[in-house]
Chains A and B, each alone.
Chain A
Amino acid sequence: MNTPDVQGVADQAQVVGRYKVIPLIQEGAGESFNTAVAESDVQESLGLPGTLVDDWHDKAIARLGQLLKERRGLRVFMDTCTKCGACTDKCHYFLGTHDPNNMPVARQDLIRSVYRRYFTWAGRWFPWLVGARKLDKNLLQQWYTYFHQCSECRRCTVFCPKGIDTSEVTMAGREVLASVGLGQQYSQEIITKVKSVGNNLGMKPRALADVLENLEEDILDETGIPVRLPLDEEGADMLVVTPSADFFAEPHVDGLIGYAKVLHQAGIHWTFSSEASEAANFGLFTGQHDHMREIALRIRHAAMGLGVNRIVIGECGHAWRVAYSFLDSLVGPMQFLSKEHPRAEHICEVTHQLLQQGIIQLDPTRNEGVIVTYHDSCNVARGSGMGNVANGQLTIPRELLKASVPGFVEMSKDTVGQTTFCCGGGGGLLTDDLMDIRIKGSLPRAQALQAVVNSDQVTHLVAICAICKTQLSSVLPHHNLVDVRVTSLHHLVGDALVLT
């Protein structure tokens, strides 16, 4: 396995607990954890059947056949698994639930067996020889259960000698399920809101303006400096698109304040947009490419309408993956962007560049007593790059943190960087009805964190993803980690910033 070294890795902390021990399997241990099926009005507003259709079997097979044609990777992933077993103990949901269906290979086989039965010669004639299965109601239910116990984090893919991307298989599974009437309420409802209102939370422009006004007031009270958080300001140079959780939740909002302070200090003329008031793109989670494109299109449309020449994405993991890896093919070319900034940039790379150019100064003594460790978000670490340096997505956030706080500690090497563990709530699983799975899936991250709390008295866990921040704040108390504060990278940057 090729794991790039994370620059400046401190002494490796000993991992406590047992995530390294491969658990004995417990058949069906995760079977009862199910997320609510989308309500019919939600499904129908997305042009999908409201309830399970009568001819679900034929429809599902036909849709799978279509996806196999459209997504060449999916077909390759169906054909290339050799059952070597390298992935079996790499999934946090398997390590947390012990359910063998949460081994990545078994999760893929939920579809692979059906693929073989209906789309391969050997499977059609000799199903018993090649592990081919008919799609029945029971298997369909297993699809629904276990494709919603995968956060599409792609840690297993790093260890797969064939590079099989389980997330693509999960997305295909969810896509087929939604097409026969079994979408997931949480993700599908969010997609309807982002399409109708402009963001996942459903915050209308008036609510957004109220929040931003309140935050401007708070910053002025705290610092005495009139830092602005502009909305829909035509003629701005830079559009900042951030997850709507940044306008709403704690500790996200502290990060939002950090972006504003940095951009103020740098003298950049920037704005948020009420049309594209959401960076997240749940179309990636549900595997529905048309939704993914439509959601991405808002960003292009808003940027062109406001006349900006830079697009910057806030702290959101999968938004960054979509922006960095797919934006051009989804809604490009972005010919209206400036020559100096021809692609969407991450707020971390913007801040990092300003720091390197000496335009802003960070003073770590302003964060006295803060000892930080950094949780690499899966979609950033494994699904993107950052800046114009190799592995910038791993090094840039760390360099910013080291410049902002007096103490920085790495968690165990096999839990960070490219091999980072998911927070346990990604990929459309950040819903209360999956809380049991979220707690179980966060076990490896919690154990790696516990180790550095014991060894180095870590006080803060930082992430650059709205989902990671919400998830980790909610689940860490269940792992007895009550004193570690989960926060935004730009919260600590904003507090360290020399503001004038």
Chain B
Amino acid sequence: MADVTLMKTPAETALAQAYESAKAILPGNVESRAEAFELFTRSGLPHRRVEEFKYTDLRALMREAAPFAGTPTASEAKAALQSAKALAGVEALQVPFVNGHFVRDAVDFGSLPEGVEIVPLAEALASGHDWLARLSPVAWARQNPVYQLNTAFMADGVMLRVTGQVETPVHLRFVTAGNSAVATATRVLVLVEEGASVTLLESHESPNGANHQPNDVIEMVAGDRSNVRHVRLNAEGDGALALSTLTLKVGAEAEFFSINVVAGAATSRHQVFAILDGENTKARINGMTMVKGGQHADSTLVVEHAAPNCESRELFKTVIDGEATGVFQGKIIVPHHAQKTDGRMMSAAVLLSEGGTMNNKPELEIFADDVQCAHGATCGQLDEDLLFYLMARGIPRKEAESLMVQAFLGEAVEFVEHEGVHDALVSVVEGWLRARA
């Protein structure tokens, strides 16, 4: 298809215009933005003939491109944050963003927990901060059109550096406010230095009924012997088209855990591009998706074992109700030199209703011979025999289904060690199940 020039869609035209008018005022290095946008323009919004977007046709799903949001006023930001609820009960250092802009007034820079440094990204971009050199740790993420759009348009975010054992979780809170649709492009760079440890929370929310288009990128560089626990909750409103990317480069003997919980948005796609870059590192990347109605949720994951002796575990659970669609695409790459790799990836989906769709594409790409890699994928209904057993004990069908769905999803959540966060996620599941009963 490369030599065929397709007509630009209205959304692509709008993005091109938006870029033309924004490029002069966006902070920082113009070249990398220009390069990213040039790459994006060449292929346009990805469609179903682009292999990586086979099941999530962004050209069809993003009919219009929403205008990029401006900086909210202090009172707008305050109001937006006051109404935000996702993971609100968890005691944490709050790092809030409203409409893609870092709300610096909400952070007391004087009393950050020991071992935590925060630099606003817009300023850093404008002044050419040293840490910027560590942006884009995963080179091949630059080939991704969603990532390219974020690079071209990123207006703000933070750079977060962790240098010690940080007990208090850091909560990156993304709120999109207002009822008329806006787009955002937020970028967060997280540097977890050698031996450091942190729990990072992310919540994403927006009001129901608004067709917001957030596109967030979190880039994480985790040093040798670091320990990172990352929990992301998509609690977007029911009209949102939410795109997000996590890039990760982790060093040797480190431990990394990430879970993405999808409980919102009309359409969402979460991409993880991870490189295990040092030996004897253990990574676990989980996903838990609950969709109903006409929702569409895509989890796309590429894990490269770039060093020998690493272990990765990927577990994705999807529950589909109504006419919703779930997508899982996962790939484990093992190059020649990454001997003794141990990689296991599993995607399991349950369809609760007629009319739902699940698309699974688990891939292995292996070039080293001394490895143990496996993937599995299952798709089906809840087990009728188990349902009967529960009902024979007097539990009504809906309740029995709920119990089984909780148990099914629970396997992905049980790895969240922080009790408060764990409980908050369990209530997200309970809330979703109550809403369908």
State whether these chains interact: no
Residues of A within 8 A of B (CB): none
